[in-house]
Structure 1
Amino acid sequence: MRDAKVYNFKRALPRMSWHPHNLYNLWRRSFGALEKVTNRTEYQETLNWRRWTAKSLLRAYHGDYINEKIFRRWYLPENLPDVRPPEATSLESTVELNKWALRNNAAGMAARRAEEEKEKGLAPVGSLMFSEVERRIDVVIFRACFSHSVYDARRMVIHGNVLLNGKKHTNPNTRLAPGDMVSVDPKAIRFLQPRPEAKEDLEKEVEEEGEEGEEGEEGSSKPVEDETASEETSADAEASAKPEAASEESDAVDVKSKDRKNKPKAWSVTDLKSGSNLTPFHLPPYASPFIFIPAYLEASFATCSVVYLRHPTARPGYSEIPTPWDADGEVVRLTWEWYSKRRMRIRSKSQLARMPENRQ
């Protein structure tokens, strides 16, 4: 398997997965011993080494299964957004010029606009480097919480368990267009299936019911008159012997039935067998940090489908691309510096023929 050693504790690289080992690696990078390696201010290494390290950390999470050469050629945006802060402009000269030209109102508006921009700051546009990766159909399935990991989502697509706009789709490299709808077969979603323990209990109940049915068929060969007579005599004997006990039992049954009505209905194996309208959902352990859906997706868990509404964007103080790193931090900035000098720009006809499907 390609994802056999992706949760290696020695490397401790976060991935797109709900695996508990991945959560442990994420904790080590965020709050554990490896935090000093990623979030430090003093470096003894070269700038090129720092850029490469930041690139490896981001690429481990965003499309680690995509070849680096293919990623640089097809998944980097044509125009990388500049994450460097703009040069400081002196407002004094512009204010004096506007005053000399008798434009006091314009000078005041320019000063207020500059102050507002400083307060807002720059939008974390560096994270938009991975906007093309977020458009992939397997990543969209994982972001919609229909799979445990992006590797599981990729297998769903390859095995034919995914529909794109109502048609079977088996290419996990497809980049979606706004308005595309992706549907997943509920049988392929693991946490919607009954657990192995529930399956065993259900099989035992079915076997017991079959044995009881066989015994009932054997007992039906006896004469009906003898059975009714024996039942009448036993009922008369019980009624004459314990009339008070029967009344007490009936009162206890009424109390129990009232308590059952007041209590909420619990999920059981009999609900699976009866075919109720409830959908079994078994949340995998350590999945709560990843249970969220980005703003550019609209998921429907009743139909196991998700609609790709639009491309992800960023605004001051907020980035719509989920990432374990600070969207406006040093790791993203160093990664941008690495790719700004090493991206592939020449695309021949033979290369265009090998481009992954892009629905735009």
Structure 2
Amino acid sequence: MPRKILEKLKLSREIISLSWNPRNLYQLATKTRLFNMKQKTLFQHMWKAKRDTRGYHDANITERQWLRMFNPRLPTLNVKLGNKASHPNAAALLYAGMERRLDFIVFRSHFASSIYMARQLVIHGKVTVNGKKLAYPSHTVKDGDVVSVDPESVVTLKKPDNGSQELEFVPVPYMQPWMFVPEYLEVNYNTCSTVFLHEPVTKPNATELPSPYPPEFHALAFKYYLRRGRSRE
């Protein structure tokens, strides 16, 4: 399915996705209620949580593919005794493994305006890992890997009208809310490259994994997939 159709489908269902699309940003800014009050059962709440969180932490993979990736063992938190600061629910890292994907890194580094555009850049050979061209959006990088993008393919870099061959930065409308760099990435905009430092972790009162949803919402999604996984055994 074409990326534009996929993005429109998510937007029509009011699902927040990885995109600078103005309608998506509007939903991000105005979505204050997580649950429909008509949804009264725990299962309904779990299903809603998995729908919304999967919609955001999605990379055009099917539910069956995600179930194969799902890890029922959440990270063990290393919290020193006597430390009053509490870590968020470990379920906040439910989708942490997705951040190792090549298309996710390209988007998180602001080299593409959506996860769909990032996917196309990878497929069309505009992205390298440690200097080697890889055309697989689902490729999972290792700690310390360097991801580079062809500067002429970066969405915010354009050639000036004066005929100069040097690229200049041109802001894209509605990009500002996404212009943050997660702590597990080290981005160099001069070379259009990113170093993947480590998989996202939780910290006292915070989590490195970007999400518009609170850890408690992710916990409901985790319970949903945990139940699905057990039913398949």
Q: Does the TM-score normalized on the shorter chain lie above 0.5?
A: yes
User: Any stretches of 5+ residues in structure 1 without a counterpart?
Assistant: 84-112, 199-268, 348-360
**CA separation in 2, counterparts of 1:308 and 1:290?**
18
Alignment of 1:255-270 (within 5 A): 269-270=161-162
The 8 Å contact of residues 92 and 219 in structure 2, kept in 1 or not, is answered as no
**CA separation in 1, counterparts of 2:153 and 2:85?**
45
The 8 Å contact of residues 124 and 315 in structure 1, kept in 2 or not, is answered as no
What is the aligned counterpart of 1:22 among 21, 24, 28?
A: 24
Higher relative contact order (CA 8 A, sep 6+): 1
Using the TM superposition, give the Cα deviation of residue 64 of structure 1 relative to its aligned residue in structure 2, in angstroms.
4.9
Name the SS for the 2:107 alignment partner.
helix
Cα 1:7/1:23, change in 2 over 3 Å: farther
Corresponding residue number in structure 2 for 1:80: 74
The 8 Å contact of residues 73 and 345 in structure 1, kept in 2 or not, is answered as no
Relative to the length of structure 2, the TM-score reads 0.88
Q: Does 1:336 align with 2:222?
A: yes
Using the TM superposition, give the Cα deviation of residue 82 of structure 1 relative to its aligned residue in structure 2, in angstroms.
8.3
What is the aligned counterpart of 1:189 among 131, 145, 154?
A: 154
The 8 Å contact of residues 73 and 344 in structure 1, kept in 2 or not, is answered as no
Corresponding residue number in structure 2 for 1:312: 200
Corresponding residue number in structure 2 for 1:45: 40
The 8 Å contact of residues 135 and 175 in structure 1, kept in 2 or not, is answered as yes
What is the aligned counterpart of 2:172 among 284, 289, 298?
A: 284
Cα RMSD for the two superposed structures:
2.5
What is the aligned counterpart of 2:211 among 304, 318, 323?
A: 323
Using the TM superposition, give the Cα deviation of residue 191 of structure 1 relative to its aligned residue in structure 2, in angstroms.
2.1
Corresponding residue number in structure 2 for 1:143: 108
Cα 1:344/1:181, change in 2 over 3 Å: farther
Using the TM superposition, give the Cα deviation of residue 69 of structure 1 relative to its aligned residue in structure 2, in angstroms.
0.9
Q: Does 1:67 align with 2:62?
A: yes
Cα 1:51/1:176, change in 2 over 3 Å: same
Using the TM superposition, give the Cα deviation of residue 27 of structure 1 relative to its aligned residue in structure 2, in angstroms.
2.1
Using the TM superposition, give the Cα deviation of residue 307 of structure 1 relative to its aligned residue in structure 2, in angstroms.
0.8
Cα 1:138/1:344, change in 2 over 3 Å: farther
**CA separation in 1, counterparts of 2:164 and 2:12?**
49
What is the aligned counterpart of 2:50 among 46, 55, 62?
A: 55
Corresponding residue number in structure 1 for 2:5: 4
The 8 Å contact of residues 16 and 150 in structure 1, kept in 2 or not, is answered as yes
2:224 partner letter: W
Corresponding residue number in structure 1 for 2:131: 166
**CA separation in 2, counterparts of 1:58 and 1:148?**
20
Give 1 or 2: higher strand fraction. Answer: 2
Name the SS for the 2:169 alignment partner.
coil
User: Any stretches of 5+ residues in structure 2 without a counterpart?
Assistant: none
Cα 1:69/1:27, change in 2 over 3 Å: same
1:285 partner letter: P
Cα 1:156/1:5, change in 2 over 3 Å: closer
Using the TM superposition, give the Cα deviation of residue 24 of structure 1 relative to its aligned residue in structure 2, in angstroms.
1.4
**CA separation in 2, counterparts of 1:67 and 1:12?**
19
Give 1 or 2: higher helix fraction. Answer: 1
**CA separation in 1, counterparts of 2:52 and 2:151?**
33
The 8 Å contact of residues 18 and 287 in structure 1, kept in 2 or not, is answered as yes
Based on CA coordinates, which of the two structures has the bigger radius of gyration? 1
Moved over 4 A (4+): 344-347
Name the SS for the 2:95 alignment partner.
helix
**CA separation in 1, counterparts of 2:59 and 2:194?**
23
Relative to the length of structure 1, the TM-score reads 0.58
1:140-159 alpha-carbon deviations (Å, 9 max, x no partner): 11111111011101000100
Using the TM superposition, give the Cα deviation of residue 344 of structure 1 relative to its aligned residue in structure 2, in angstroms.
7.1
Using the TM superposition, give the Cα deviation of residue 120 of structure 1 relative to its aligned residue in structure 2, in angstroms.
2.2
Using the TM superposition, give the Cα deviation of residue 339 of structure 1 relative to its aligned residue in structure 2, in angstroms.
1.3
Using the TM superposition, give the Cα deviation of residue 280 of structure 1 relative to its aligned residue in structure 2, in angstroms.
1.0
Corresponding residue number in structure 2 for 1:243: none
Cα 1:312/1:53, change in 2 over 3 Å: same
**CA separation in 2, counterparts of 1:323 and 1:296?**
14
